[in-house]
Amino acid sequence: MITERAPAKLNLALEVLGRRPDGYHDLATVFQTVDLCDDLTFERVERADQLSLHGDLATPDNLILRAARALHPNNAARITLSKRIPIAAGLGGGSSDAAATLRALSRLWRTQAALPPLAASLGADIPFLLLGGTAFATGIGHLLERLPDPPTRWTILYTPFDAPPDKTTRAYRALLPSAYSDGTATRVIAAALRRGEWPDLSHAPNAFESVADELFPGLVAARRRLSQAGAPWARLTGAGPTLFSLVEDRGTAAAILARLSAPERSWIAATLPATLRNG
């Protein structure tokens, strides 16, 4: 049996550069993994053609099963998923589960498949989540420059309400060309991290901030609540609705979380170094 953790991701900055001819969008973003994780186990089974998923969100079209079949269409395993990362929250939980599946089953099945191309075929965030840590990403989010692991910071994550599964599609549809930018602000943040410094993220760009309040009624109140709890700032990750803030020590993060008083909707998590060094 193999046990694998699937960490959540943050977008420390996220700029949309424009719409591509294929309908996707070019991005400039800085990814960071944190230790709010889903847990997965992978076990050998007797029947050579039996691939099954158990536990939370065990649906036939789950991205975990799609990742397993992309790695090998006929191999067998029993996969069990325990969810902690909220779904459709901007934290990349489903993508991270798929990345963990590729990592684990490549060992269980002893395959020689190149994982990054498989990951890219399944989703734009998945190549980064194969590796974790800190990275500057361009293209649709799949072209990665690894950045040094910065000093550990503690993040307060607040997902104030559930979002529909198609919220990212809705967010892109709602974006106006005026929300597009050239990626300069994100490159400045990446440059600071490249030097081993944490940049000031209080005004870090996220193109989806321009439509988030319209898409998620109540987000303004959620920001206010996080600020009143003592968070130094609140930014959106991905297309939301999760808000996050970073502080230097766990005690400060725990105090903010306690004042927020939303135990079913908030977490503290440390930033994580890379999972794989050699992709």
Q: Which sequence positions are flagged as catalytic? A: 9, 125
- Mapping DSSP onto H, E and C, the string for the chain reads CEEEEEEEEEEEEEEEEEECCCCCEEEEEEEEEEEEEEEEEEECCCCCCCEEEEECCCCCCCHHHHHHHHHCCCCCEEEEEECCCCCCCCCCHHHHHHHHHHHHHHHHCCCCCCHHHHHHHHCCCHHHHHHECEEEEECCCCEEEEECCCCCCEEEEECCCCCCCCHHHHHHHHCCHHHCCCCHHHHHHHHHHHCCCCCCCCCCCECCHHHHHHHCCCHHHHHHHHHHCCCCCCEECCCCCCEEEEECCHHHHHHHHHHHCCCCCEEEEEECCECCCCC
Please give the Cα distance from 41 to 89 (Å, whole number): 23
